[in-house]
């Protein structure tokens, strides 16, 4: 899907499909080699990597995405969906979300038919909104705030006032923002984090999402200080 989405982006930018395919092929080979070498180097050089309980305050090596992938492997592999989301599991009620996803677009469609003069109602895409929540386990609330702020500014304000600039530079800007994060991460590591300088001591440096109940157990009868006991 990501490969096809890149082809679609190349189509919008008037890039020939052959050139796009060659770039994808070379990029995949190069990226896989760099990823493997970088992962090997980090695992052998960063002490207590991916172990937040032993890492210093503000360390970036907590590996939230890897934790989510590992937990998903346990859920769908070791435990099995029947013991998680079936009649034997604690989260069987989550299956009602399939029904919610099926029905959720209907009210938006009905309201758009009742108020056809309200053009903004047709812009509400419920599948996109629900699908966007899929990145929440690894991301934090601050990530979504940044994404929404940048998206609204460039796709609403800039699009309405400077449509020519938007049409010419918006996709390039998107790629630049993604690349900028990667380059800045490398720069911060070699200038600050390699010397265990992880940032100023403030509440935003904490690794948690500032929701203590999120780490509470959900199994019935388990007592943990500061957490409600599930029945």
Cα–Cα distances in Å, from 126 out to 59, 131, 136? 36, 8, 16
Residue 202 C-alpha from the chain's centroid:
24
**DSSP conformational letter for 60:** S
Residues in the chain: 231
Using CB atoms within 10 A of its CB, is residue 212 exposed (0-12), middle (13-18) or buried (19+)? Answer: exposed
User: How large is the greatest C-alpha to C-alpha distance in the chain, in angstroms?
Assistant: 61
Query: Hey, where are the domains in the chain?
Result: 1-45, 104-139, 140-196
**What pTM did the predictor assign?**
0.57
Please tell me the predicted confidence (pLDDT) of residue 32.
Answer: 92
- From first to last of its 231 residues, what are the pLDDT tens digits of the chain? 778 888 888 888 888 989 989 988 998 999 999 989 988 988 888 888 888 778 877 777 888 778 888 888 888 888 788 888 888 777 888 889 899 989 999 999 999 999 989 888 988 999 888 887 776 666 666 677 888 899 899 988 999 999 999 999 998 998 999 899 889 888 988 888 777 777 777 776 666 666 777 778 877 778 888 888 877
Helix, coil or strand: residue 222: coil
The answer to whether the CB of 200 falls within 8 A of the CB of 206 is no
**Spatial separation of the C-alpha atoms in residues 220 and 231, rounded to whole Å:** 5
């Amino acid at each position: 899907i990501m490969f096809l989405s890149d082809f679609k982006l190349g189509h919008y930018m008037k890039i020939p499909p052959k050139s796009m395919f060659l770039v994808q092929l070379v990029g995949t080979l190069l990226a896989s080699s760099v990823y493997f070498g970088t992962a090997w180097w980090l695992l052998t050089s960063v002490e207590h990597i991916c172990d937040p309980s032993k890492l210093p305050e503000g360390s970036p090596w907590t590996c939230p995405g890897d934790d989510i992938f590992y937990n998903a492997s346990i859920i769908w592999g070791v435990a099995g969906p029947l013991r998680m989301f079936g009649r034997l599991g604690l989260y069987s009620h989550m299956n009602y979300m399939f029904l919610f996803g099926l029905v959720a677009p209907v009210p938006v469609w009905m309201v758009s038919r009742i108020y056809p003069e309200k053009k903004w109602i047709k812009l509400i895409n419920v599948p996109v909104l629900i699908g966007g929540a899929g990145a929440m386990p690894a991301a934090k609330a601050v990530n979504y705030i940044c994404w929404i702020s940048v998206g609204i500014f460039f796709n609403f304000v800039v699009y309405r006032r400077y449509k020519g600039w938007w049409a010419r530079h918006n996709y390039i800007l998107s790629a630049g923002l993604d690349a900028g994060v990667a380059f800045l991460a490398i720069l911060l590591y070699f200038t600050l984090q390699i010397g265990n300088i992880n940032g100023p001591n403030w509440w935003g440096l904490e690794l948690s999402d500032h929701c203590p109940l999120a780490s509470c157990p959900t199994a019935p009868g388990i007592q943990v200080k500061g957490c409600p006991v599930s029945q």
